[in-house]
Every structure is written in structure tokens, then in C-alpha cells.
Amino acid sequence: MSPFSSEAAWLCLAVTAALGGLVLCKLNKSPGPVGKKVACLGGLWGGACLLSLPLFWALILFSLSCVLLYIHLSGQELLPVDQKAVLITGGDTGIGHALSKYLDQLGFTVFAGVLNENGSGAEELRRTCSKRFSVLQLDVTNSQQIKEAYSKVVQKVQNRGLWAVVNNAGILGLPTDGELIPMAHYKRCMDVNFFGAVEVTKAFLPLLRKSKGRLVNISSIGGVVPLLKMAAYGSSKAALAMFSAVMRQELSKWEVKVSTIHPGGFKTNIVGTSELQDKLEKDILDHLTPDVQEDYGQEYILAQKKFFNLINYQSSDLSPVLQDIRHAISAKSPFTFYTPGPGAYLWFCLVSFSPTGIFDYFNKKIHSFHNGMLRICTVPHWKN
């Protein structure tokens, strides 16, 4: 006798329809990017079940999958804002600036740490944001400013605690070959991108423990993928990612959740002004030994600024990053790892699962747009 009798058929169909309806209701309450990904995966899985299994077992398996999806999506529902307080570093420009406005519009009590409290970015935040909003002078490499910022936050939040800290402040430097980057630039990247985030975290953790809140560190896809020209920047972001992974485990006993954001290609002001780029280029030339200058060739060294042209073609729509950060701050069960941006997750998969030779080949191909050429490639009979 076939296990798929008419009674069983109607029962399985009814259960599957009910579970599917519950999952769809949960999807409507989930943030956009998360809901779309889950819906796509669910649809592909359901189609695979129906095509590869007998109808009875396909419905059974699909129903169990709906149960698991429902449990998963329950953790993705966003908690009410209730004027939760959030500290954001690097609010002068870029992601930090846009995130400060975005969270303020959602009803959060936002503390935006800025490098220059009298700068145009800080003034714009004061002008456009609500009365809940506060601008703090906060150079993350300045221990005294971190302490003063902590005192101001404590004074305002009092017994509520601080719900979230978003370590966003960061610098890029001049992207070039690792041998050409002066040691001062390596140290500066580590000071801002890593040590600054660590010190801010250590200072504000007592407030996060009180609220059982969130620590969100903005790393980069360059912190998990070895991108050419990014030795200083990528190393500092990789250190931040490892710090986040350790803190996630250590802070779980206080129910503080830690997430790391690894944005892909977004156009921000992290590259700095053209005057700053000229200064960085001069620093590189001033610190090179004659042997290194001869080996690389001045034409190649001077062409390094052309790498910034690539950034001009990156996406200026920061909404994927902002939505992922909001999810990390507000979801009942936030993810530990986010990769917003076109191709960011594909890069992560490529470096994680493909043979090294294949990754290196594609990485070099993508960066072959650079017009500068090593002298060793252009001068015949070069010395061994």
C-alpha cells in the first residue's frame, strides 16, 4: 500500500501550507536583506525536494525545513528601539556619518564620536539630527578623549546603560605594495583601526554588560581576503576581526553579543583628500632606500595613486551596510559575521574554499587594471 494515501496527502498539504504561512509571516517581520536571502534559499530547497524525492517525503522534509526556518527567523525579529543608546566612532564622514543619521531617524539615542567636533561633518549632524543626538569629541587614539567621552555618556544614560558600541573609525592610508609602505603608516593603521577600537571597547564594556547589549566592529572584506596593495590596512582589519571573535566568546557569559561587519566595495571618504594622498605619496618616496627605488622604478611608485580610481567606481549606496549594522544592533539573535556589498561574500568564499593558486590568479587578474609596471618587467637583462 502506498504511504501516500489521500488522507495523508491532505494532512501533509495542510501542514505544509500552515507552516509555509507562518514562515511567510516571519519573513515580513525580518529586515529586507535577511528576509530575501532566506526566501531564496527556502524556495531553492523546496524545489530541490519536490524534484528529487517522492511527493510524500518531499512534503515531510519541506515541512521540517519550515519548522527550522520559523525558529531561525524568530531570532531575526528586531527588538523595539525604546530610545536605546548607541555610541558610534568615526562619525565625521562615510559609514559612521550615515549610520548616525540612520539610527537617529529610527529613534535611537545616538552618541556620534567625531575626530573634529567643530568640523563640517559634526556641524551637519547637529543641524539635521534630533534633540536626542549628541556629538562627542573622540579621537580613538587619544586615551583622554575616550575617558571624557565615557563620562559624558554615563552622565546622559545614567542607569539605562549603553545598548551598543559601533567601532567604525578607520583609515586606509595610501594603498601600495607592502614593501613600499613606511613603518609609520603600518603603525598608524594599527593605532586607529585596531588599538583605537580595542581601547574604546575596554572603556565602554561596563555599560554594555549592564544593558546586556551589543558590540559591533566594522572590519572590512580586506580583513579576511588578502587584497593586493592593502598590507597595512588589511592587517589592521584582520586583527580587529580576530579581536571580535575572541570577545564574542568571552562576553557571552554576560549575554553581550558581538558582531563583525566586513563591508565590500563602498565609496566613502576613507581615502582622504587629494592633498592627503599627495602627502602620503611623498612620505613613501622619502622613506625608500635607493635599492628599493631602483628595483621598483619611480614611474611605478608614482602610479600608485591610480589605485584610488577603482574606488571612484564603487557603490555609493551605503544602505546594505546600514541595514546589516541595524540588524546586528537590534536582532534578537544577530549574526556574528556580515558581508554587505557587491561580491563581498563571494570573495570570502573564494579565499576560504578555493586552492591558493586559483585565488591568487583571480586576485592578480582583477588588479591588472593598474598601469604602473615594475622596472624588472620593462628593463631587459635585469640583474639576478
Render 320-346 in DSSP notation, one character per residue.
HHHHHHHHHHHBSS--SEE--STTHHH
Hey, which residues are catalytic here?
233
Residue 17: what pLDDT?
A: 58
Supply 108's cell numbers: 535611537
Residue 372: what pLDDT?
A: 41
Name the residue type at position 91.
Answer: G
pLDDT digits (tens, 9 = 90+) for 297-316: 877 777 766 665 555 556 57
pLDDT digits (tens, 9 = 90+) for 122-163: 999 999 999 999 999 999 999 999 999 999 999 999 888 899
Q: Tell which residue, 194, 178, 164, has the closest CA to residue 85.
A: 164
Residue 274: what pLDDT?
A: 65
Average pLDDT over residues 187-208: 97
Determine contact, residues 67/23, Cβ cutoff 8 Å: no
Supply 314's cell numbers: 564603487
Residue 18 above 80 pLDDT? Answer: no
Confidence label for 247 from pLDDT (cuts 50, 70 and 90): very high
Tell me the C-alpha distance between 1 and 109, whole Å.
65
Residue 379: what pLDDT?
A: 38
Supply 341's cell numbers: 556589498
Residue 41, CB-side half-sphere exposure with 13 Å CA sphere = 12
47 versus 355: which is more confidently predicted? 355
Confidence label for 217 from pLDDT (cuts 50, 70 and 90): very high
Tell me the C-alpha distance between 330 and 213, whole Å.
9
Residue 39: what pLDDT?
A: 55
Average pLDDT over residues 265-272: 63
Q: How far, rounded to the nearest angstrom, does the alpha carbon of residue 367 sit from its chain's CA centroid? A: 22
Tell me the C-alpha distance between 110 and 86, whole Å.
5
Average pLDDT over residues 111-117: 97
Residue 382 above 50 pLDDT? Answer: no
Tell me the C-alpha distance between 264 and 347, whole Å.
9
pTM: 0.79
pLDDT digits (tens, 9 = 90+) for 55-85: 555 666 666 666 666 555 555 688 999 889 9
Residue 380: what pLDDT?
A: 35
Q: In this structure, are strands 109-114 and 85-88 parallel, antiparallel, or unpaired?
A: parallel
Residue 188 above 50 pLDDT? Answer: yes
Residue 11 above 70 pLDDT? Answer: no
* Residue with the three cell numbers 551596510: 321
Residue 97: what pLDDT?
A: 96
Determine contact, residues 284/301, Cβ cutoff 8 Å: yes
226 versus 4: which is more confidently predicted? 226
Residue 234: what pLDDT?
A: 95
Supply 84's cell numbers: 536605546
Confidence label for 273 from pLDDT (cuts 50, 70 and 90): low
Q: Tell which residue, 65, 56, 69, 68, has the closest CA to residue 12.
A: 56
Whether the CA torsion 20, 23, 27, 28 is positive or negative: it is positive
Confidence label for 283 from pLDDT (cuts 50, 70 and 90): confident
Residue 50 above 90 pLDDT? Answer: no
Residue 177 above 60 pLDDT? Answer: yes
Residue 331: what pLDDT?
A: 92
Task: Write a three-state SS string for 89-156.
Answer: CCCCCHHHHHHHHHHHHHCCEEEEEECCCCCHHHHHHHHHCCCCCEEEECCCCCHHHHHHHHHHHHHH
Supply 350's cell numbers: 573564494
Q: What percent of the chain has pLDDT over 70?
A: 69
Average pLDDT over residues 101-116: 97
Instruction: Report the interhelical angle of 55-74 vs 6-29 (nearest 10°).
Output: 30
Supply 103's cell numbers: 539610527
